[in-house]
Amino acid sequence: MSGYARYLAQRFLILLITVFLSITVVFFVPRMVPGNPLGAVFLNMAQMGGSAGAPELVAEYERIFGLDQTLWVQYVRFWRELLRGNLGYSISTFPSEVSTLLSAALPWTIGLLTVTTLISWTLGTVMGAIAGWRGSKSAVSRILVPAALVLYTTPYYILAIILVFLFAFYWPIFPISGALSLGVRPGWNWAFFADLLHHAFLPAMSIVLVSLGWWFLSMRSLITGLKGEDYILNAEAMGIKERRILWGYAFRNALLPQATGLAISMGHIVGGALITEVIFAYPGIGWLIFNSIKGLDYPVIQGGVLLIIIAVAVANFAVDSLYPLIDPRIRYQSARS
């Protein structure tokens, strides 16, 4: 077996172990929380005038969701159904399937976080390269570096709360929650997209600003470190224009770790900024998991977190697989190992 094939096998084994252990933890932890997962269902039935306390009905629901079995039997049954691609039914919204709920929430999360990740990465990378090239004494660095430090150290949810207070309460410019106004239906028309952007602006801005600080500081540090490299000094001695040295030499070499960070961030999109979705009641995966936790909806919690685990694990595996093909040093080390 070649060095690269052995390298891939090791990383794939780590991926399988990580997914297995993570799913196992996600299965057991919600079941350790005090409370009855069927309580919310029976409460809704009672409010609608149904016979929520009927023993036969309780027993039937417990049988459907396997709650009448031991924890070990439930665990084995969960893995058996999962390997068949069956995530089960939601307890709180029965008979809705978990896969249906995830399919409805996933586009909102991917749409919001994909756009914000790409915007913050692009702006942060370009601005960081300019600030790093001009040095710490330049006006750009003196203004942007402190601002980036503040943004980077501010949690998503704190900035989200500040934005809500300023632009939804104090100046009611944007809506406080939701993804669409009542009566607006999805479609390929201006009214839909305008309303969608209006609702998504504040959650998107909270994510962009915080991420922008990290990408800016990261790229600035990379460019600052490359300024003393021999090939940069040689290019300056040859009289090559400064703009070409920055964008043609330093920027291209610093882009590799930035691109790796972007690939990992794209993998974290499914689970990224979950609390931001909760604050804005944005109908993505985070909002779905939050409501499921409140109702102890085990199948939906498992399905949502499973989706996040697989997305992150596969993204990390993809980056680990491609990086040796890009960076000769890693390829050489893997071949020697």
pTM for the predicted model, two decimal places: 0.77
Q: Is residue 79 part of a domain?
A: no
**Per the structure block, which two tokens stand in for 122?**
């692009």
The one-letter code for the residue type at 82 is L
DSSP string over 48-97: TT--TT-HHHHHHHHHHTTTTS-HHHHHHHHHHHHHTT---B-STTTT-B
Q: Is residue 65 part of a domain?
A: no
Q: Are 219 and 125 in contact (CB under 8 A)?
A: yes
Q: Is residue 30 part of a domain?
A: no
* pLDDT on residue 86: 83
Q: Is residue 164 part of a domain?
A: yes
* pLDDT on residue 204: 87
User: What is the rounded average pLDDT for all residues in the chain?
Assistant: 79
Q: Is residue 5 part of a domain?
A: no
* pLDDT on residue 140: 74
Residues in the chain: 337
Q: Is residue 6 part of a domain?
A: no
Q: Is residue 323 part of a domain?
A: no
Q: Is residue 89 part of a domain?
A: no
Residue range 234-286, pLDDT digits in tens: 888 888 888 888 888 888 888 877 877 777 676 666 555 678 888 888 888 88
Q: What is the CATH number of the domain that holds 242?
A: 1.10.3720.10
Neighbours of 307 (CB within 10 A): 22
**Residues contacting 3, CB < 8 A, separation 6+:** 331, 334, 335, 336, 337
Domain count, the chain: 1
* pLDDT on residue 275: 80
* pLDDT on residue 274: 77
Range of the domain at 111: 99-294
Is the pLDDT at 316 greater than 60? The verdict is: yes
**Per the structure block, which two tokens stand in for 187?**
């479609």
Residue range 321-337, pLDDT digits in tens: 776 665 555 554 444 44
Dist CA 82 CA 245 (whole Å): 53
Which of residues 13 and 41 earns the better pLDDT score? 13
Residue range 108-160, pLDDT digits in tens: 888 888 888 889 899 989 998 888 888 777 777 788 888 888 888 888 778 88
